[in-house]
A and B are shown apart, each in its own frame.
Chain A
Amino acid sequence: MADFQLVHRPAVHEAFASSAGAVTLQPLPEGRVIQVLGKPAGDDLRQILTEFAGTGPHGLRSAGPGQWFIVGDSPMTHDEFQAMAAKLAQHAFLVDQSHGRVRVGLKGTRIVDVLAKGTGVDLDRVAVGESAMTLVGHISVHLTRLAPDAIELMVLRGFAESLWDDLVRMSREFA
Chain B
Amino acid sequence: MASLVPCPHCGSRPKEEFTVKGAALPRPAPDAGEQVWMDYVYLRDNPRGRYEEFWHHTSGCRRWLVVTRDTATHEIEASRDVAFGTSPEARA
Contacts and interface: CB of A to CB of B under 8 A. Distances in A.
Interface of A: 63-65, 67, 120-122, 125, 132-135, 140
A134 B62 CA distance: 10
Contacts of B61: 63-65, 67, 133
B79 to A, nearest CB: 14
B60 A64 contact: yes
Interface stretch (B11-19, B28-36, B40-48): B11-19
B12 A122 contact: yes
B11 A133 contact: no
Given A65-B81, A120-B4, A134 B63 contact: no
Given A64-B63, A134-B13, 7 more contacts: A64-B61, A65-B9, A65-B81, A120-B4, A120-B12, A120-B13, A133-B62
B73 interface: no
Interface string B58-71: 01111100000000
